[in-house]
Amino acid sequence: MARQVNINKGELLLKNKVLFFEVDKNLKPKWSEKNYLPIFIPNIYKSHGNGKTIAIFRDPENNTEYPAIQQSGNKTIFNFDPKETEEALTYESYVKKHVPLQSKLPFHYHKIPFRFYVGKIQSKIYSLIKKEKLFPSWPYESSVEFLRYAYSKCKREKNKLENAWGNKKICLVLTHDVDTGEGLKNVRKFVKLEEKYNLNVTWFFVPKYYKHDHELLSYLKDKGNEIGCHDYNHDGKLPYLNEAEIRKKLDECKGLIKKYDMKGFRSASMLSSENLDKILPEYFSYESTYADTELVSPDANNRGVCTVFPYYKKGFLQIPHTLPMDSSLLFLDYKSKEILSAWIEKIKYIKKIGGLAMLDTHAEPHFSGQEKMLAAYEEFLNYINSERKNMWITNLNSLADYWKKKFKD
């Protein structure tokens, strides 16, 4: 029988805090080794009950404990709102974003000399800062899944995302960003590898930056691959325009969007804004910009949507990156073999949860278009092939259609 759950929204105790969420052993997810994790909580309310405490919040600054979930008879009282908290996490409400320097330049940031090495220096600095931060965790962050599990157990209801993929343990989607004309020259190298393993993927092309190879794009489409829209011209300025200017830019892309039936959008460099969020649903069916957890991006560090499942943001479907991006790992000086290992280990972790493994690689020669990275990518495809019976392998548009039918907002 379902247990009654009450949300206590009485006297506000704490606001916008990163605390350890620690639960009784029967509320611990099966896939988690620990019964606690750091989590951002937007609002915590003062407990007014005398029931049994089955979960606490612990402040790492002073080791103070606060009742998080309590039981009294057939009632379970949450001294925070789990739905509100989940939204705060998936909306990245805890992140302090800024307009990055690259978006303020009077020229395209790709013209910056040695920009790859500038990115490496920035990433190294942020990775050192990360060591001092509890949340979000990297490269694994499961606070949304941990919270959902505890909530469903308290209600004595089945988690609706359990067995999300039917008889498959995990969903896998491979995607590529083609940021530049140099990356466009490498596309066929990836196609050759993926056709060897009979894989269809999602390609994101920039509409207004380089000349498109329509013979190639048509070939990709005819072979069952998906074509998506990658920003406008990848200069990092689109999210910071006003609504009318954003619409004008996207209207200029309508011909390409229609020609290749582009259903999905991915912003450059994970940049976003309220204006862009508002307008994208007018042009696309889903967005795939954000990561579940990320150390570094131009507008913020230590960020992520904290889930390895698709989710809705104000009714618009978001499909997050859940394997570390090649660019992020290369900026952190990971070698190709280490990157391969990181991808495989993350898949094993996501498989335990039953979530989505989505990889975003870049075709540019300084990213995955280089020889060593292509070799690592082929090894990764070989691993996927060996695990194929456990995976639903699809493209983003097919996943979006499936998710909308099975899990409405």
What percent of the chain clears pLDDT 70, i.e. is strictly above it? Answer: 94
**What are 357-404's pLDDT values in tens digits?**
999 999 999 999 999 999 999 999 999 999 999 999 999 999 999 999
What percent of the chain clears pLDDT 90, i.e. is strictly above it? Answer: 82
pLDDT at 130 over 60: no
Instruction: Return the pLDDT at 133.
Output: 72
Instruction: Return the pLDDT at 157.
Output: 85
**What are 19-55's pLDDT values in tens digits?**
999 999 999 999 999 999 999 999 999 998 778 999 9
**What are 179-205's pLDDT values in tens digits?**
999 999 999 999 999 999 999 999 999
User: What's the average model confidence in pLDDT over 111-122?
Assistant: 62
pTM of the entire structure?
Answer: 0.94
Q: Which amino acid is at 171?
A: C
Instruction: Return the pLDDT at 409.
Output: 73
**What are 301-328's pLDDT values in tens digits?**
889 999 999 999 999 999 999 999 999 9
**What are 219-268's pLDDT values in tens digits?**
999 999 999 999 999 999 999 999 999 999 999 999 999 999 999 999 99
CATH superfamily of 143-406: Glycoside hydrolase/deacetylase (3.20.20.370)
User: What's the average model confidence in pLDDT over 49-65?
Assistant: 91
Which three-class secondary structure string do you get for the chain?
Answer: CCCEEEECCCCEEEEEEEEEEEECHHHCCCCCCCCEEEEEEEEEECCCCCCEEEEEEECCCCCCEEEEEEEECCEEEECCCHHHHHHHHHCCCCCCCCCCHHHHCCCCHHHCCCHHHHHHHHHHHHHHHHCCCCCCCCCCCCHHHHHHHHHHHHHCCCCCCCCCCCCCCEEEEEEEEECCHHHHCCHHHHHHHHHHCCCCCEEEECCCCCCCCHHHHHHHHHCCCEEEEECCCCCCCHHHCCHHHHHHHHHHCHHHHHHCCCCEEECHHHCCCHHHHHHHHHCCCEECCCECCEEEECCEEEECCCCCCCEEECCEEECCECCCCHHHHHHCCCCHHHHHHHHHHHHHHHHHHCCEEEEEEECCCCCCCCHHHHHHHHHHHHHHHHCHHHEEEECHHHHHHHHHHHCCC
Q: Could you tell me whether strands 4-7 and 356-362 are parallel, antiparallel, or unpaired per DSSP bridges?
A: unpaired
The CATH 3.20.20.370 domain(s) of the chain lie at 143-406
Instruction: Return the pLDDT at 132.
Output: 57
Instruction: Return the pLDDT at 1.
Output: 52
